Structure 1
Amino acid sequence: MDDAVYKHINIVGTSTQSVEGAIEGAVAKAAETVKNISWFEVVDIRGHIDNGKVTRYQVGVKLGFKLD
C-alpha cells in the first residue's frame, strides 16, 4: 500500500436558494480546476439579510484532495 499526501483548501460558496446550494456550487466550481477532490467540511455559515429577509447564503467550505 502506497502512502498518500493530501492537501486542503478553503473556499466560500454562495447561493440565493440554500446552504446546500452554496456547498454544491462551491464544490462544482472547484472541481473545474482541482483534481481528486475527495471530501468537504463546512467551516462556517453566514448570510446576507436585506429588509429582514435572508437574501444570500454564504458557506465556508474546506475541500480535501489527494496530491498526484
Structure 2
Amino acid sequence: MSESVYKIIELVGTSTESWEKAAMNAINRASKSLRDLRIAEVSQLDMHIKDGKVEAYRAKVKVSFKFEG
C-alpha cells in the first residue's frame, strides 16, 4: 500500500423509512460529488419527532476519501 492522505467529513442523511436508508442516502449523495470514497462510519442515530410520531430517521455519517490537494 502506497502512502496516502485521507480527508474525513461528516454528513447527515435522512429517510422517512429507516436509519439504514438515511445512511445510504448520505453516501449516495456524497458519491455524486466526491471521488474515491473509502470508509463510512455511522457515528450517531436520531429521529425527528412530530406530534408524538417519528417523522424522519437521521444518521450522522463520517466519510473518508483520498485527499488529492
TM-score of the pair, normalised by structure 2: 0.90
Offset, 1:51 = 2.0
CA RMSD in angstroms comes to: 1.1
Offset, 1:30 = 0.4
Structure 1 residue aligned with 2:57 = 57
Offset, 1:22 = 0.4
Residue-by-residue CA offset, 1:20-42 (whole Å, 9 max, x unaligned)? 01000000000000000011011
Offset, 1:66 = 1.4
Residue-by-residue CA offset, 1:32-59 (whole Å, 9 max, x unaligned)? 0000001101111111112221110111
Aligned length: 68
Q: Distance in 2 between matches of 1:58 and 1:20?
A: 9
TM-score of the pair, normalised by structure 1: 0.91
Structure 1 alignment gaps of length 5 or more: none
